[in-house]
Structure 1
């Protein structure tokens, strides 16, 4: 009896490919020697309307490797620019190819992009390939972020290529399949403003409005509305990063999306010991993208977005600048509002009092002084176990705890309600650096993916506070060497 061959369920549309040619180059992935599927995100695949069984076949692996172009796809490499560590440059997809946009059964649209499928016209001397470790790292962190409820690009699959890539050493090659609401970036608009015409810029802005903000398409100044909506989403996103101690590591303007999703998991990591000056990226030698600087850089990046939109905001440049500056000035207020609301929730506070700001600041100051673990401090407070923190027994904490308890007593909600709010706002687990490295070492060095699979399982619901998560709350062994991450390019 012949076994029925199931269709994978690809349902591509390619709206980006209908933009002016200045925004992309048609580009097929470069085939690899012997692709092997090593991890597939079954729930994400199902939500996209894809057939998991078909994706696990040889044909599925061939698609994820770029060896086979699925029906309906129109592969391309996107052009964009960006300020990288403050320096403006022409960029583009140097090691990524957009297969197309998957339309889900519910009518949603998601980019399907291969990361590491070979050279493109934007590779700038690179080989366009990716190593296994960094691709698995992006898979782990992006799925961890999704579990935390933070808007993010996601990872659908990773295949090994059967080929090596040369970085500092020879490494196994791999390709990641990334899923995103879109890959429109601040840098895409900077590219349009610098290398396109005003009509190209207008076409791109209209496309972004239609794709991400259809509710404001009809506004009197729809391009101002576009600016304001992106500011809102980024203010909310960066606040969420700060609330869980996430450090992006490379907040260049080409890594800030119009959709408000986190993108590019290169030299990123989560903070253990609380310190606003924390930097993990090996290339961020000046601390430009330190944890405490992320909100400032977010505002700076959005100012660059506003600059790119100036010709669309008003025909008079001085008036356009005034309009842009007024919009950008809202970012700090929006960020602070999101951040304070999140911090209040982490402390079980439902209403607002002016002294909440000092209550939060005093806690952070103590955490920094005594080198307290960020995640576990809030976890200990959640379960009323202050003795589990290094703050316990200090005069500052005794005084602070009394003020906090008094603050909780001044709201209508019960102690139980506060505890529930804290459980839902303070994760038991994050993708701790030593656990991520442990998983990567087992996978890359030993071909053992079970460590990574267990880690992904506990990260899928970080607010469960389950017994299975307990061992993943443990801190790493003390080390004299600071933790460092690398771009993986």
Structure 2
């Protein structure tokens, strides 16, 4: 094999209880859809022959140095604890140390069944693979911590869900795939030796300055608090914030029924399985706190003085809502072009958001249009915006360069749901032009790109995507 990846694997050196080692299951006719050259360079991977890369990223060929394994974890799913989950359709190939000296996982998603598949086929169909590739790369370009797409491959085999669908495999890159649920499973089983080993590993890998389990808890809290505020700032709704989908690295992970809002409303839900709105846009900060509390509960199990640990962990968790609020306000100040802080800023932001919700304003386009003085066009009744405008103008009058801050804080382009669906429909028919166009445009979300201005347009009534799906 001429194509190579410079693996340096650490997770595979943990006890065997943490995973099941196995090779991926080969597919019939792998064909490379996309390869992320920029990310590959960061990972010290050189492009190989197309056919060879297709075999590697489909799981038909295991590269030298790889140690394929399915990771074990548990998790709360919509508030209900599932005692064993794990990688049911994914395999960690191994890790690389990039040109920035950071360690990252390389994982195949859709690579076949594992012991954790729970009667599933371990495969993925083309739609969710392309969605995750596009959206995760868009999130990266937006400056939000996220897993990334290294490659996407057709399998040449059908996947059966409601009917036959084209199969695909995504190669995902992450700082790690350690989840809140990874800690939960060993805590729930009372396997304290494994829990301690996992905690030490997580600290060494992600937060080397953290002191002990509660230092880790604090570091995860701080990373997640900032991440949630960043999600809110671009109108992103994760859709399935289960503890097994919460990465301790502070990265966005597992793009299942995710979506970006068009029309702003705080109670917006897209996920077809979130029937009670648990993971609605406005609920995401509270759920992040809830997830952190589950991590605290797990970490405490290894502490000798549990009473003192509970007290300290409670203080750490209870501080999270204020941290999220601080990051949220900083994010939205910047969206309004405010580089300094004043007491009335919170009211200025919330008043605008209330008017936007009442007047069906587009979230992304309204904030972007503040820099062009055309935001009133986003409101069904512009008088609501007109009443808000003088206060904002007075406030920005005390700033040095609000327009420049608005331009770099508000994207012109997001992966709008209807464009994602159109891209998937075209790809299923064999046309990858919309996929490649989206990946190109979304790589520069803060730039005005006149040739692609129609991608900024909200959906027409017949284009609205009312629900998104996990795709499993």
- TM-score w.r.t. the length of structure 2 is 0.97
Counterpart of 2:81 (choices 69, 88, 92) is: 88
Paired position in structure 2 for 1:35: 30
| Contact kept? 2:412, 2:445, Cα under 8 Å | yes
Counterpart of 1:343 in structure 2 is 332
Counterparts of 2:155 and 2:450, CA distance in 1 = 37
Counterpart CA distance in 1 for 2:100 and 2:449 is 33
- Please list the CA deviations of residues 310-366 of structure 1 after superposition, one character each: whole Å capped at 9, or x if unmatched: 133x42222111111000011111101111001000001111112111111110110
Supply the distance in 2 between the matched residues of 1:406 and 1:392 (Cα, whole angstroms): 22
Q: Does 1:457 align with 2:440?
A: yes
| Equivalent-residue separation in structure 2 for 1:36 and 1:456 (angstroms) | 19
291-300 or 384-393: bigger deviation? 384-393
Cα deviation, residue 103, structure 1: 2.2
SS in 1 for 2:325: helix
Question: Helix, strand or coil: the match of 1:214?
Answer: coil
Mapped to 1, the partners of 2:465 and 2:100 lie a distance apart of 46
* Deviation, structure 1 residue 467: 1.4
Instruction: Tell me which of 8, 12, 18 is aligned to 1:13.
Output: 8
3-state SS, counterpart of residue 13 of structure 1: coil
The residue matched to 1:83 in structure 2 has which SS?
strand
**Larger deviation: 84-93 or 7-16?**
7-16
Q: 1:480 to 1:461 in 2, by over 3 A?
A: closer
Q: Does the Cα contact within 8 Å between 1:22 and 1:196 map onto a contact in 2?
A: no
1:114-125 paired onto structure 2 within 5 Å? 114-125=108-119
Aligned-pair CA distance for 1:391: 5.8
Q: Please identify runs of 4+ aligned residues in structure 1 that moved more than 6 A.
A: none
Shift of 1:423: 0.2
Contact 1:427-1:465 within 8 A present in 2 as well: no
**2:244 is aligned with 1:257:** no
1:69 aligns with 2:65: no
Cα separation, 1, equivalents of 2:251 and 2:271: 20
Where do 5+ consecutive residues of structure 1 fail to align? none
d(CA) in 2 for partners of 1:57, 1:405 = 54
Offset from partner CA, 1:406-439 (integer Å, 9 cap, x none): 1122x3x33xx11000000000010001111111
In the other structure, the counterpart of 2:297 is 307
Aligned counterparts of 1:378 and 1:241: Cα–Cα separation in 2? 15
Counterpart of 2:154 (choices 154, 160, 163) is 160
Cross-structure match for 1:418: 402
CA distance in 1, matches of 2:6, 2:463: 51
Tell me by how many angstroms 1:482 deviates.
5.5
Q: What does 1:307-326 align with in structure 2 at a 5 Å threshold?
A: 307-312=297-302, 314-326=303-315
Task: Show CA shifts across 1:111-146 (max 9, x none).
Answer: 010001111000001000110111011111111111
Given that 2:58 and 2:153 are in contact with CA atoms closer than 8 Å, whether structure 1 keeps it comes out as: yes
Mapped to 1, the partners of 2:386 and 2:27 lie a distance apart of: 61
Q: Could you report, residue by residue, the CA deviation over 1:200-248 in whole angstroms, capped at 9, with x for unpaired residues?
A: 11110000000001123xx3xx221100000000000010000000000
Q: 1:378 aligns with which of 355, 363, 367?
A: 367
Q: 324, 327, 330: which is aligned to 2:319? A: 330
Question: In 2, distance between residues paired with 1:378 and 1:469?
Answer: 19
What count of residue pairs does the alignment treat as equivalent?
A: 471
**Alpha-carbon contact 1:116-1:176 (below 8 Å) kept:** yes
* Alpha-carbon separation, structure 2, partners of 1:392 and 1:421: 27
Residue 107 of structure 2 corresponds to 113
Question: How do 1:337-416 residues align onto structure 2 when only pairs under 5 Å count?
Answer: 337-390=326-379, 393-394=382-383, 396-409=384-397, 411=398, 413-414=399-400
- The residue aligned with 2:167 is 173
* Structure 1 counterpart of 2:230: 240
> Does the 8 Å CA contact 1:34/1:162 hold for their aligned counterparts?
yes
**Could you tell me which residue of structure 1 aligns to residue 272 of structure 2?**
282
Q: Secondary structure at the match of 1:223?
A: helix
Contact preservation (8 Å) 1:346, 1:378: yes
> Which position in structure 2 is the counterpart of 1:437?
421
The answer as to 2:468 corresponding to 1:488 is: no
The 2-side partners of 1:297 and 1:316 are apart by 28
Q: Is the 8 A contact 1:382 1:426 kept in 2?
A: no
Alignment partner, residue 125 of structure 2:
131
TM score, norm. by length of structure 1: 0.94
